[in-house]
Structure 1
């Protein structure tokens, strides 16, 4: 696109010395208008869209063509490097996420056990921690469900090992209540991680008023026994196996500890 400027000198418009600077003489045309008593000069010049004489346009276009981006070889090299970085980085990110998930899950069990012990001491009552798949009652003894299915923590006021709630409108946790108070419900873990109990804690464990723990080693809730240290722990595993397993142990006094091996010193095992 060209913009045409006409410079007039003539009637009432004195011409500056030298005329319009930069205008070629072959572009100046003189003519006499009949209706005007003196001749005037029309100077016509053209400018490019950006205000540059069109004679310089080819050199500008040539300079623009010399400014190129990536060629196909450089692009392929960049893609190859990016692919290598993804191959190295993605497994590390996946491992980081899986480790974080396992830490969260094993900490949820440790927190539940610590809370149960604290409530048993505060209330001087039995507090039961049992595996629960349905989230409303303890699983039957001997079902063999892993604790990754979920669990319940409740104050067992009638000491029968069963969650007996008072029904709608009843505050089971009120002071002086005679029904069982549900303290915490853990839902099943997401994913395929397994939380396996040792032989002393297959389904349930109970904290008593002094903070110590009792186990159901004979598969009968009517009687509870002391918990052997060597077989009172839980092992959390994922698809990576025993090399990445985590464990929580429980002492006779009810204290919780993190383990990287079995209490007897053997390596952790996964199902």
Structure 2
């Protein structure tokens, strides 16, 4: 009986910490997905000396979401933008396709940004202070991640407090 009481007490302290660890891992995993796509796009643009673009993907399709309310939550496409028009055409080479983020995770941008592109020198076409924000919908007001993309094309990860 005493053993059960001790286990119950220890469990009451351990479970919240374990839950936070799992939720933090979800944010880190999804942040890694975004960073990986950005690094691949930049690397390929430098290696091949061609523009490479990334766009928010339409749900259930291999097409870019170009609407006014672009959502990155349905995934994204990375492709060789051979005609440098920021539009994924059937003739262009698809490098990578990422599907929907984990359930409950939101990926937003600091500005309306249906796509971004890397130039052959690895620099990006993004406006100054462009960033992706990764948040867990189940933890508003908690720490998420921010990925800032510099004009040089480099991505920097930092903590971000998700809006309630």
Alpha-carbon displacement from aligned partner over 1:114-146 (angstroms, at most 9, x marks no partner) = 11011111222111111113340101231332x
Structure 2 portions without partners, runs of 5+:
none
Structure 1 residue 80 displacement after superposition: 2.4
Q: Which has the higher contact order (CA 8 A, sep 6+)?
A: 2
How far apart are the structure 2 equivalents of 1:214 and 1:163? 16
Q: Do the aligned residues in 2 keep the contact of 1:139 with 1:203 (CA within 8 Å)?
A: yes
Which residue of structure 2 lines up, in the alignment, with residue 212 of structure 1? 123
Which residue of structure 1 lines up, in the alignment, with residue 87 of structure 2? 162
Question: For 1:101, which of 12, 26, 40 is the aligned residue?
Answer: 26
Structure 1 portions without partners, runs of 5+:
1-74, 166-178, 216-226, 262-267
Structure 1 residue 248 displacement after superposition: 0.6
Q: Is 1:184 aligned with 2:96?
A: yes
Q: Do the aligned residues in 1 keep the contact of 2:147 with 2:157 (CA within 8 Å)?
A: yes
Q: CA RMSD in A?
A: 1.7
Q: Is 1:240 aligned with 2:139?
A: yes
The within-5 A match list for 1:90-169 is 90-132=15-57, 133-145=59-71, 147-165=72-90
Which residue of structure 1 lines up, in the alignment, with residue 108 of structure 2? 196
Q: Do the aligned residues in 2 keep the contact of 1:242 with 1:269 (CA within 8 Å)?
A: yes
TM-score (norm 1): 0.56
Question: For 2:5, which of 74, 80, 85 is the aligned residue?
Answer: 80
Structure 1 residue 187 displacement after superposition: 1.0
Structure 1 residue 111 displacement after superposition: 1.2
Aligned to 1:248, the other structure's residue is in SS state strand
Aligned residue pairs total 162
TM-score (norm 2): 0.90
